[in-house]
Structure 1
């Protein structure tokens, strides 16, 4: 039996107390999926997600919406347009992942830009006007996500000689706070690498799915692509460790029931592949890593405390579980089952007052948010 290092957390009869941020059939879209979350400080949160016509992935019609909280997730404002779908010209946007750069005050949101093709049949290329290319973009906001300037990052994220197509992993990127790369912004990606094909071709049998990051040292003005890592490294989440290294934890593209990890000592430019981590059980689902105290100094023991949310089952997207580590991810313990039923993608972030916020989706039916206070987090 695979364990996270302690007795499994008890499974409740119902989810933790939560707020429903979107419900199928209500608001501007029939369905909602794929979540991103960021804490801007002083209780200011943004929660973003896809609005979908059918619930299916692009190229079905999709746009981005968000909601805002000014009191640490206790109450939420109305739905806001994050990036509207262009229905006339069939441009679709999905997979939101937020970053907050405290040095500049900027908020960034990475997302996918699709037209006529999705990840499985998109062709290689960097021309965002090409209907068969699936690209990606970053939005930059100088006013806490109330207005956005969108820029393409397709060329740096997926050069066609190397990668047929790629997309940013939804959820949250990170800003490094410790070590020689402090201040660097990192956004995780997964790409279909063209090991067996030539530029301009469609999908080939020689493709390998790998993880990597885009990183910026100038507050998001320019981006660089780090080296890829692994095989069957799919949607990826990252967290800074106490010494400034970066831990990567990836969905297994082969859906073998576990997760794959890697570590970077140079700010995401390259990785040491550590293969499967047997501590984790996973059905092939997006998940999220986060620092419990991301602003703690390297010498502070709290800098070694990490959080992880995901579906804790080998075969089904169920049993949404919060796990914690006190030793930079060397060992993990189940802490809380926040969703006993169906769970698709999830995000966890540290909030004010030592609380945490968890945002998750349930079968395209609901987007749920829970603020969990420190006293309700046993052992962490």
Structure 2
């Protein structure tokens, strides 16, 4: 058994939290998200889809854990808008879109330091809503529409399709709630392209929301920036890490002093491959370590040899977690978490320093997979050589009274 310099044994354990076949109402689970609340409760959520597409009949399911992700409450549907729910007109241009389906999409949760859990989600990629929980995700307030915040973007970008995040998002040290968003005119593939990236924010605890400046425009170099994650740097600046469909096949990075304006010129991070897939980003601040962790499928297939086509997704596999000790300037450590088919991911850290990566897995290549898997591991496992990766916890989906 290999130990770290501090005498801590590396460990890793995995369990499926959502699996195709566990509920006859849903054909697919996608868009995993995870966050740890101020009280230490772990919340894991996803889109549960009846039909596999982005415009399918979709609900948002949540599970809770009060023991750092070892056991879990049963899944619960946590969003419901009472108003009439017309489909986005740009969805109706697509083939095989069922007008009776209700598409809740792109849920984002933020754990406030005061114990509140803030949530923003979208409806039909056309409207956005805010709700909150004051009891660690057991119950939620009535959704309040905040689409007006997105309408503020229209002076700069005439969007017809909107989306938040997805994944968890952040509260800044000054209390600001910040959520990355992407916007599309809906004219391209799946009505999701072309697209640009920005942020929305609240400075009053979620009561009102405003639009930031466009952070990454759509250009010949930065093609269709979309699903984005954010982290506050040690000096208070905000860094966005952006999925895109550029020829470079690398993640895009841009930095702002306040998370809403004055974004730096986007740059490609040469260390972070971009197979065109969502990634996860979180700060690890525990003990004497203050690091950034990033997760995504580290794979390009033929792209390394110049065979990648712009806008063409590479196979989603080889999910890896990387460590940066210099605020994202470099990523010196990379560890494979799932060598086979592996898709969207989000990443969180519990109060005792356990790392949680929640991600899609499958028996064969695909965009979403057969299950959403939670990996629990410590920093010692992440920093250990592959051959020295040690004990594996025996975990099941568990049960926790909700």
For Structure 1 versus Structure 2, the TM-score category normalised by the shorter chain is 0.7 to 0.9
| Structure 2 residue corresponding to 1:203, chosen from 176, 187, 191 | 187
For residue 284 of structure 1, report the CA deviation from its aligned partner.
0.5
TM-score by length of 2: 0.75
CA distance 1:264–1:210, change in 2 (3 Å): same
Does 2:292 correspond to 1:306?
yes
TM-score by length of 1: 0.80
Structure 2 residue matching 1:352: 3-state secondary structure: coil
Does 2:91 correspond to 1:111?
no
Aligned counterpart, 1:26: 22
- In the alignment of these two chains, the number of paired residues is 327
Aligned counterpart, 1:66: 62
Aligned counterpart, 1:83: 79
Q: In 2, distance between residues paired with 1:153 and 1:336?
A: 39
Q: In 2, distance between residues paired with 1:347 and 1:25?
A: 23
For residue 219 of structure 1, report the CA deviation from its aligned partner.
0.9
1:263-309 C-alpha deviation (Å, 9 max, x unpaired): 01123333112321212112111101111118x9xxxx744x10100
| 5+ long unaligned stretches in structure 2 | 1-11, 86-98, 219-223, 301-313, 362-367, 386-402
Larger RCO (CA under 8 A, 6+ residues apart): 2
CA distance 1:43–1:349, change in 2 (3 Å): same
CA distance 1:214–1:50, change in 2 (3 Å): same
Two-structure CA RMSD over aligned residues (Å) = 2.6
CA distance 1:56–1:271, change in 2 (3 Å): same
Equivalent positions of 1:1-380 (< 5 A) are 17-27=13-23, 28-58=25-55, 60-84=56-80, 90-103=101-114, 105-114=115-124, 134-148=126-140, 149-159=142-152, 160-161=154-155, 162=157, 163-177=159-173, 182-192=174-184, 203=187, 208-230=194-216, 231=218, 232-254=224-246, 256-293=248-285, 302-303=289-290, 305-314=291-300, 315-362=314-361, 363-378=368-383
| 5+ long unaligned stretches in structure 1 | 1-15, 119-133, 195-201
Does the 8 Å CA contact 1:324/1:332 hold for their aligned counterparts? yes
For residue 174 of structure 1, report the CA deviation from its aligned partner.
0.5
For residue 30 of structure 1, report the CA deviation from its aligned partner.
2.4
1:101-131 C-alpha deviation (Å, 9 max, x unpaired): 113x2111222201xxx6xxxxxxxxxxxxx
Q: In 2, distance between residues paired with 1:204 and 1:22?
A: 31
